[in-house]
Structure formats: structure tokens, C-alpha cells
Structure 1
Amino acid sequence: MKEIKCECGHVNPVGTVLCESCGRALTSKAKEEKLHDMRYEGSARRSQTYNKSIIDKVWNFFSSVKVGVWLIVITLIASAVGTIFPQKQYIPSVLPPDQYYEEVYGFAGELYYTLGFHDLYSSWWYLLLIASIGVSLVICSLDRVIPLHRALKTQRVSRHESFLKRQRVYGMTDVTNIDDNLEKIKKKLKEKKYKIREENGNILAERNRFSRWGPYVNHVGLIIFLIGGMLRFVPGMYIDETIWIREGEKKAVPGTKDEYYIENKEFTLENYDNKDKEVFQQSIERVGTIAKNYQSDVVLYKESGKTLPGEKADLKMEKEDSIKVNHPLKFENFAVYQTSYKLNEFKSMSFTFDNKETEKTFGEFTVDLFDPKDKFDFGNGYSIELMGYYPNFTGFDKNGEPISDKPVPDNPAFLFKMFSPEKPEGEISFVGIRKNLEPLGENEFKVSFAGVETRDVSALTVHKDLTLWIIALGGAIFMIGVVQGAYWHHRRIWFRRSGDGSLIVAGHTNKGWFGLKNELKGILEGTDIRMPEDQQEEQKEKQGVRRNKDDGDNNGRMEQ
């Protein structure tokens, strides 16, 4: 059977519990109920009707509220675990992530990396969890909102008496003049903004039906919110990268496909001085120096034409600006923020080639710490070869080899080989800051430190977010759904003429039963119609009386 025909003539989808039109119970279980379950108006839900094909099983799985809750719980737990160790973008760039997590955090760090928690929000399984929550929201909503909408739209004014008797608020009154009383009732219903429908002398008063769609509006907002969050992983939609750019250096802006370049002309740092001590006296005494302002004076360039791989880009200046904290450089959909800085980073170091005994200098040379030359020739047979460069020298390993843990020249050291007519085979010298070692024995010549050139470095964060409006839209729709479902209640009141000349009054609301009963009391005031009873409260009272009676009988037996 693909459909069920009720006695009233309405054809219902298979799986319908209560007739969408008259409300008759269509199943034996519904006929035995003392009160009808009105959550979805007894409508046919796909998840409770079909369970044969794979599509049915997938639909039924994701339509479960428990499954949706568990998916959210698992995602929250995964997000919490992702905060135990720092994410990949916040670890030092000295070591690759797999090596870093293992060396710093041991087995826990290795497991953390293997399971993908180091890059949690981009891992395939985390994205799959987010997508599963979205699928669950869509299927849960469709499984409920479509049959609910159909049932509410199809409902007749004249509902069957068995339907009205199984409403929580129900009562029957013998009235001699029903028409006069109904006229008074309709007037009061209109004052309370009820929408009134009449059929065969019966009345259906309904208000705030739109509040029933509040939870589904929530779901729509959440789905849009999740879509916005997942779009951040689409290339070009979201960028949040930090570049370190030195004074005089020019770099491509991340996310622009090398279309835009930025040059750091000069970095400026201003500290609070003695004039400001009256305001910052305690802070200055505690910390020493406090930054008043730090900024990078930059120039933005745009590639004027397409270049072939390996060719130098032809750049055209777009704008010149100063980037300060909370005052970014903006262009197109990008914003470049000043986030940090580093003062006096080594740029180059100068040395002299000397005779140790006579202190005669045969030449001076400069090593560019970011692009060092391999050899320096001074003529007449004197030259120096750079055999090894260690930007951040930290010591020697077990084999006596120098170690550098990162490419930034914070503590540069060099291994030189010195050639001269007296020593044509060369002499080895290891030179660093406050270090001048002769690893193969005493040398006749030496490399002496002559000077250093430094420059400041700016940390600029490039930010682009094309998903923000989608996330904001989803959040706004979600809040509309919250307000819609929380502050309005769907209320319905039925007035039906019975065959014996009495009047049936029944009421239903999706929440706020006290408000419905109080409102109904005011509507019936001044009429001959008796206030209906709350059948659920009546059942509880009967159960309480029965329980008290049983307790009294048990106490009597114990006394005997």
C-alpha cells in the first residue's frame, strides 16, 4: 500500500498515524493512546516508513537526533584534543612537523601528528565530521518539516471527536444557545489575534503557526554557518598568513598568485620615555621599556603584465603607506596587519685576513648572511674559502660537526679555509661570535671579526576572508530561529458541535501550556461554556491518589 484512505475520504501517505484532515487514529497503537503525540501531528516521516534500500538506511541513520548529537559531541572532543599541543602554523619552522612533534612531545606528539591533530581544521576526517553534521541537519529537517507542513496545511476545521478527546486540554459542555456563545468567543479570539476558520458551525482558532518552523530555521542557519566554515578551506576564500619581511626586502603577498608584492622600506619603533612616566611609571619600572608605536613603511606593487617562469616581474607601484597596529594596509579583499617585529637582525658580517704573528692584514671581506659567497680572493695567492655556514650555531654533535637549528642568523658561525703562499694547502679556522677555533692544530693565519651590519624585521599578517558574510548570515538566521521558536507559541483551539447538542472545546500548543489555559480561561469568561480540563494533570493526580492509597494499604498490613 502506498497510501491510506481515511473514513473522511482524505488520502494519507503510508506511515501516517493521525489523519491529516480529520485527525482520526489510523493505527491500533494510536487508538489505544489516552493522549495523542502531537509533536509532528501524527504525520508520516520517511525515516519511520521506509527501511529497505541503502538510501533508506543512510537516510534513517542521519535523521536520528541521537546521531546528530553524537556527531557534535565527537567534533567538540576532537576540537578540544586539538588544543593540547600547538597547531602546525604555530610551531617553529626549524624542523619539519613530523620531526618536531616527536622530538618535543615524545610518543604523544608522534601519535598527535599521525592522527592529524597537528593540522586539525584541515584534516580530511575533521572536515568529514563537519560535513556529516551538515548532512544530519539537512536530513533531520527534511524528514520532519515537510510532513509537518503538509499536515498543518491539510488540517480541517471539523476534527473528529476521537481526536479532540485525546488532546491534553479537553472539555464538553451542554449548552442551550451555542450560537450566541460562539459569537462572544469569536469576538474575544479576534481581540487576541487568533486566525479563525469556520466549517459547518465549528471553529478552529489558530495563532503563531510560524513558531513551529523555528527549529528548522535554526538548522538552515547552522547549515549556512557550516558551509561558510568549510569554504575557508577552498583556495582563495580564506587567507591568514604571516610573513617576515626585512628592511629593504621585497616579497610576494601570499594568496595573490604573485600578482602583488610588498616592500619594507623602513621599520620604526617608538617607546614611552620619561615624559610618559607619570602615566606608565609602574609599568616602565616593572618591564623596562614599553612600545608606544611600531610601524612599517611599505610600498605595494602590482605586476603590470604576465611574465614567463624565471623572468623578473615588471612591477608597478600601487600605493605607499605606513602599517601600524590596528591600522592595516588594505587593497582589494586583503588587509595587511603589523603583528610583531625583530630588532637588529644580522644582515652581514665583515672579517679581515691576518697574519697572527705580524698582525699584517691581507684583505677585508664581507659575508652576506642570506646569500654568502663561497670564495674571497685578495690577490698574490691569498684567498679564503667558505667551507661551512651555520646561521644559528648551537654547538657540536658527537662527531664534532657544528650544528645549526634554524636558517635565521641569530648566532652565525663559519668554517673558513685560508690559503696563502706560505700555506698553499690551506688552514682551517672556525669563527663565530666570541669564537675563533683552530680544529686541526695551531694556524699561522687567522680570520678576525671586523664589523657587523644589522636591520630590523617586520612580521606582517596577510588576511583575506570571503566567507565572513556567509558565516554572519548563518549566525543571524540561527538567532532568528531561536527567537522565533522561543518567544512565540503555536496555539490552536477547537470548538466543535457534538451530535447531542453539546459543545466540545479542545486546545493544543507546542509549548507554554499554562499560558494556553490562562488565555482560554479569559476567552470563555462570560459565556456558558465550562473551562476544559488538563487531562495530563488529571492523570497525574489520579496516579498520586492511587499511589497514596497503595502506600496506606501497605502501612496497614505492616501494622497488622
Structure 2
Amino acid sequence: MSVTEAVVEDPPAGEPPRRRTPRFVAAGWAAARNGWRQLTSMRTALMLLFLLAVGAIPGSVLPQRSVKVEDVLGFYNAHPDLAPVLDRLWGFDVYASPWFAAIYLLLFTSLIGCITPRLLDHVKALRTAPPDAPKYFNRLPQAAVLDQPVDEAAAKAALRGWRTVRREQADGTVTLAGEKGYLKEAGNLLFHSSLLVILIGVGLGSQWGWHAGRLIVAGPEQVFCNTVQQYDDFGLGPQVGAGDLPDFCLELTDFRAEYRADGMPISFAADVAATDSAHGDLGRHTFSVNHPLRLDGANVYLLGHGYAPVLRYTDAAGVTQETVSPFPYTDPTLTSEGVAAFPDANGSDQTKQMAFSGTYMPTKDGPPYLRSDHPEERNPALMLTAYRGDLGLDAGIPSSVYDLDQRQLEAGRLKKYGEPKLMRRGETWTLPDGSKLEFVGTRQWITVSIRHDPGEPIVLAGAVLLLVGLPLSLYGKRRRVWLRLRPDGSAEAGGLPRTEYPGFEDEFRSLVERWQR
């Protein structure tokens, strides 16, 4: 008979034949049962937790597309052979990879399988009275014979704080059973449940959360509205669409920074005016580092700040254009480098487009003009180099707004135009063709991180449960004591620690002394 055939039992007389479960089905059920036991064991849960931590290492070491696509492209350029291999292994999308999700779900299942039976057992233990005293106390780790009669009421008073049950035997013997230390198992359950809660919160945040970054320049014409098109970089959860983002706009009205004499920062604060389409003006708000701006559906965090030179260019035909160009800083003194481009200069001739690349120093009193002396604007200096030619903006190739297109420079389609020039605020630079550039001044800019994570409250609750459960789990000691009072006035006591508890002997001795007193 093959393993797929059912086995027919010989029935008792007068009954129809009964068919047993096929052997391959029984073997399958046995394998599934053993697999479930292995998956829901504490050893497996710890192994999966370790694998989850190891699996998160590539997400911390390698650039992630969900955080910043530009860093991934830079890694491709720096490692053209290694990057495709890592990409096939989901190295740049670790937290969205199938293998990370598999570890996550297995750990989730394992924790549920570990916690549920233990929770049921703990509830059953809480509802079950402490067992009656054993017949022979001398077989327990702690035992004592009391040398004088014990008052039952006083004995109960000594067991205050213990879960106590009184039993009376047929011969008049009274036993008091006390148990203590249930909080240890409760702490264990809270600790392991906290991991489960944290996993739920992280999963919820990764699916329905989103984050974005934006550089905002001060000024009413530089208003930022919360749309995907206006983000510098963003990452939306799988369950979030562009139309699900909250509706609000922010205008940077002021920024205040305080520094020490050596240039170390003391405090930063940004003032913004917030609006939305439903309520109109939402008022003015101030936020700073570690004190985000909390709006309906999003939190805005202040990350950094810098300066944006305001330049006014007048071409040879007398046409004037003005631009506000943020310069990213390169050191703690806010020495900043950037580009101010005028693609519409000199009419529609692409070969006569203008750009100015340079370094802005908030405080610089004298040469060399390479680095600012202080991050605060005390004596600003702007060192610029002019470039003329095709800026490559119409090529359709993505490029940084903070640097010139190196392809255009290497091809000779964009060339230097005149000698570098140091400019102070209010000065004008006359170029060889008669055009002029004026350094009007500067504006402040800030970089913000805009985030929404619906799993944050759940993760916080899990962290609180972890902090509560861990001490209970470490310091809770479950133990039992018994006191037997016989009708003739004799008494004896016994004690049993349910967990490893080096101090139980002293606690039992102290309890016996209180009974004897």
C-alpha cells in the first residue's frame, strides 16, 4: 500500500468500516506542529530579533532610495561594478525588501506564539489559589519548627502583601499558604509584548508614514507649499499617495541665531507664517531644534540654516534680472559655496547665458578670502567667478542647482568670463561686455524635515511597556511559604522559591521570627 492510501480499520461487529487519516496527511500535520513549536520558541524569537538587527545594518551603511536618491546615484558612480549587485539584493531598499519583510513577519508571528500561551498560563495562575502545604516540610529548601505557639491572626498579619489562603483539615489543623512575586511573570509578558507593540508601530509607520526635505528661503515670494513637486527629496509609504498629503503652506519670515565668541552656536529659532486652503491664515509660529512645529498631519523639524546672496544682473541691453541663490555651507563658520544663474541674460542666445560661481563668507575682514572667520554676518564678503556660455539647462539632464554643469565646462560650451571679483554688500561689478552685477544683500534660508509617522504613539507605548516590564522581569522573585498550626499548639513552616532567589533564605528566616514574636 502506498503512503497516499488510507488505512482501513477493522470495525467491531455490526459497524461499517472506518477510514483513518492517510499517512502523508498525518506526517504533514506532525511536521507542521513541530515547525510551529520551533517557530514559537523563545530561542527562535531571539534568533529572529538578532537577524532583524543584522539585517538593518545595510540600511544604515548603504544609502537608501527612500531617504535620498542622490546618494544612491553617487554610490553608483563611485562603485559601478558593486552597485548593481547590491541593488539586485535590495541593498538600497533594505526596509522594503522581501527578505527583511520575511524576518519581520516571522518575528511578529514568533512573538505572538510565545506570548499568547504564557499569557493564558499567567491568567490561570492568577486565578488559581496557592496550593496546600506539602506533607513533609523538611523536603523543602527552607523549613523550620516554631518553638512556641503562634496566633493565627498575628500570622495572617505577618503575611500582609502575600496572596494568602487558609485551609482547615478535618483534625483541626490549619494551614496558611502564601505566594508572592507574580509581577515577575507579568514583567516578562510586558517586556515581550512591548517588542510586539514596537513592531506594530514600526510597521504602521513604514506603510502609512511619509517624510520629505525642503530648503526654504526667507521672503513672501519663496513660500513653500506641502506638495510633492516642491520637495527637494521625499519618501512616501506604500499606502500614501501624493493627494494624501496635508494641505499647508509655510513662509519663512525671520530666523535668529546666537553664537559664542568662538563661533559655537547657542540657539536657533525660525519664525514662519502658516496657511492652508480650508482655514486660511493659521498664524505665526516659532520652532527650533528639538522643538518642532506641529501641524495637523505633519511635524516640521528644523535641521540647518545658511545664507542666500541676492544678486542683480543687468545685461548689455539694459535688461535687469534679480535672483536669490541659496549657498550651502561647507564648514561650521558657514563659509558657503554656490551658483547664481541667469539663463535669460542677453536675450534668447544660449551662448551668452551668465552664471556666477563663488564663495560667501559671513565675516571676513581681510585676505585670504577662503574661509569665514565667524558664522554671524558681521562683515560679509562674496568672492565670485563669472561664466558665460550655454548653461546646459535645456538639455533635459538632471543637474544640481548649486554647481555648474561640469559637462558644459569640459566641452568648452561654458567658459570663464573675466577675472574673479571680491564683492561687498552694495558693490557693483562691471563685466567686459559692459553688463553689471550688483551684490544687493543676503537672505536667510533654513532646511526642514517634514514628517508624519502614525506609528509614533504606538512605538512610544511599546517603549513605556518595555521600561515598565524590564525591571519587573529582572527584580521580581516568585516564592511560596506555608505555615501549619496544629491543635496541640505546635507549628512548623516551609518555603519554596519558584525562581532563583539568593535572598530567600534571609526573607524566610525573617518571616519565621515575626511568626514566633
Provide the TM-score with structure 2 as the length reference: 0.61
1:318 aligns with 2:285: no
In structure 2, what is the equivalent of residue 534 of structure 1? none
Moved more, 291-300 or 126-135: 291-300
1:434 aligns with 2:417: yes
In structure 2, what is the equivalent of residue 467 of structure 1? 455
Relative to structure 1, the CA distance from residue 414 to residue 328 in structure 2 (aligned partners, 3 Å threshold; closer, same or farther) is same
**Is residue 413–residue 433 contact of structure 1 (8 Å, CA) maintained in 2?**
no
Moved more, 146-155 or 468-477: 146-155
Q: 1:215 aligns with which of 152, 167, 188?
A: 188
Instruction: Tell me the secondary structure at the aligned position of residue 60 of structure 2.
Output: coil
**Offset from partner CA, 1:20-74 (integer Å, 9 cap, x none):** xxxxxxxxxxxxxxxxxxxxxxxxxxxxxx9935763453122211111111111
1:190 aligns with 2:134: no
**Is residue 390–residue 412 contact of structure 1 (8 Å, CA) maintained in 2?**
no
Superposition pairs for residues 330-349 of structure 1, below 5 Å?
A: 330-344=294-308, 349=313
Matching residue's letter, 2:401: V
**Is residue 391–residue 410 contact of structure 1 (8 Å, CA) maintained in 2?**
no
In structure 2, what is the equivalent of residue 479 of structure 1? 467
Superposition pairs for residues 22-421 of structure 1, below 5 Å?
A: 52=29, 56-88=33-65, 91=68, 95=70, 97=72, 99-105=73-79, 107-147=81-121, 149-150=123-124, 153-154=127-128, 157-158=131-132, 169=141, 181=149, 183-184=150-151, 187-188=154-155, 190-193=157-160, 194=162, 195-200=164-169, 201=173, 203=175, 204-235=177-208, 238-247=209-218, 248-253=221-226, 257=245, 259-264=247-252, 266=253, 268=255, 280-281=260-261, 283-284=262-263, 296-304=270-278, 316-325=280-289, 328-344=292-308, 349-352=313-316, 364=319, 366=321, 384-386=348-350, 406-411=399-404
Q: Report deviation, 1:140.
A: 0.9
Relative to structure 1, the CA distance from residue 296 to residue 493 in structure 2 (aligned partners, 3 Å threshold; closer, same or farther) is closer
In structure 2, what is the equivalent of residue 451 of structure 1? 437
**Is residue 351–residue 448 contact of structure 1 (8 Å, CA) maintained in 2?**
yes
Matching residue's letter, 1:67: T
**Is residue 86–residue 92 contact of structure 2 (8 Å, CA) maintained in 1?**
yes
Instruction: Tell me the secondary structure at the aligned position of residue 407 of structure 1.
Output: coil
Q: Report deviation, 1:263.
A: 2.7
Relative to structure 1, the CA distance from residue 512 to residue 197 in structure 2 (aligned partners, 3 Å threshold; closer, same or farther) is farther
Structure 1: unaligned runs, 5 residues or longer? 1-49, 273-279, 285-289, 305-314, 353-361, 378-382, 395-399, 416-427, 437-445, 529-560
Q: Report deviation, 1:249.
A: 1.6
Moved more, 367-376 or 53-62: 367-376
Structure 2: unaligned runs, 5 residues or longer? 1-26, 228-241, 326-339, 359-389, 420-431
Instruction: Tell me the secondary structure at the aligned position of residue 460 of structure 1.
Output: strand
Q: Report deviation, 1:463.
A: 3.8
Q: Report deviation, 1:136.
A: 1.9
Q: Report deviation, 1:223.
A: 1.8
Q: Report deviation, 1:141.
A: 1.7
In structure 2, what is the equivalent of residue 18 of structure 1? none
Relative to structure 1, the CA distance from residue 116 to residue 150 in structure 2 (aligned partners, 3 Å threshold; closer, same or farther) is same
Q: Report deviation, 1:153.
A: 4.1
Superposition pairs for residues 4-15 of structure 1, below 5 Å?
A: none
Instruction: Tell me the secondary structure at the aligned position of residue 475 of structure 1.
Output: helix
Moved more, 150-159 or 187-196: 150-159
Q: Report deviation, 1:75.
A: 1.6
Instruction: Tell me the secondary structure at the aligned position of residue 458 of structure 1.
Output: strand
**Is residue 212–residue 485 contact of structure 1 (8 Å, CA) maintained in 2?**
yes
Q: Distance in 2 between matches of 1:250 and 1:107?
A: 42
Instruction: Tell me the secondary structure at the aligned position of residue 299 of structure 1.
Output: strand
Q: Report deviation, 1:215.
A: 0.6
Identity %: 15
Moved more, 242-251 or 455-464: 455-464
Matching residue's letter, 1:385: D
**Is residue 374–residue 387 contact of structure 1 (8 Å, CA) maintained in 2?**
no
Q: Report deviation, 1:519.
A: 3.1
**Offset from partner CA, 1:374-398 (integer Å, 9 cap, x none):** 8889xxxxx643279898999xxxx
Q: Distance in 2 between matches of 1:122 and 1:109?
A: 17
1:492 aligns with 2:480: yes
Q: Distance in 1 between matches of 2:406 and 2:436?
A: 14
In structure 2, what is the equivalent of residue 307 of structure 1? none
In structure 1, what is the equivalent of residue 20 of structure 2? none
Q: Distance in 2 between matches of 1:322 and 1:207?
A: 53
Matching residue's letter, 1:136: S
Q: Distance in 1 between matches of 2:354 and 2:97?
A: 35
Q: Distance in 1 between matches of 2:207 and 2:31?
A: 31
Q: Report deviation, 1:343.
A: 1.9
Provide the TM-score with structure 1 as the length reference: 0.57
Relative to structure 1, the CA distance from residue 489 to residue 348 in structure 2 (aligned partners, 3 Å threshold; closer, same or farther) is same
Instruction: Tell me the secondary structure at the aligned position of residue 315 of structure 2.
Output: strand
In structure 2, what is the equivalent of residue 33 of structure 1? none
Q: Distance in 2 between matches of 1:301 and 1:321?
A: 11
Matching residue's letter, 2:437: G
Q: Distance in 2 between matches of 1:478 and 1:510?
A: 23
Relative to structure 1, the CA distance from residue 431 to residue 347 in structure 2 (aligned partners, 3 Å threshold; closer, same or farther) is farther
**Offset from partner CA, 1:308-334 (integer Å, 9 cap, x none):** xxxxxxx93322345554564443353
**Is residue 393–residue 412 contact of structure 1 (8 Å, CA) maintained in 2?**
no
Q: Report deviation, 1:472.
A: 2.4
Instruction: Tell me the secondary structure at the aligned position of residue 29 of structure 2.
Output: coil
**Is residue 170–residue 507 contact of structure 1 (8 Å, CA) maintained in 2?**
yes
**Offset from partner CA, 1:115-139 (integer Å, 9 cap, x none):** 3343444545334433433322221
Relative to structure 1, the CA distance from residue 350 to residue 413 in structure 2 (aligned partners, 3 Å threshold; closer, same or farther) is farther
Matching residue's letter, 2:53: L
**Is residue 203–residue 455 contact of structure 2 (8 Å, CA) maintained in 1?**
no
In structure 1, what is the equivalent of residue 370 of structure 2? none
Q: Report deviation, 1:241.
A: 2.7
**Is residue 243–residue 461 contact of structure 1 (8 Å, CA) maintained in 2?**
yes
Q: Report deviation, 1:456.
A: 4.7
**Is residue 411–residue 433 contact of structure 1 (8 Å, CA) maintained in 2?**
no
RMSD: 4.9
Instruction: Tell me the secondary structure at the aligned position of residue 244 of structure 1.
Output: strand
Q: Distance in 1 between matches of 2:83 and 2:296?
A: 40
Relative to structure 1, the CA distance from residue 505 to residue 258 in structure 2 (aligned partners, 3 Å threshold; closer, same or farther) is closer
Q: Highest Rg: 1 or 2?
A: 1
State the aligned residue count: 401
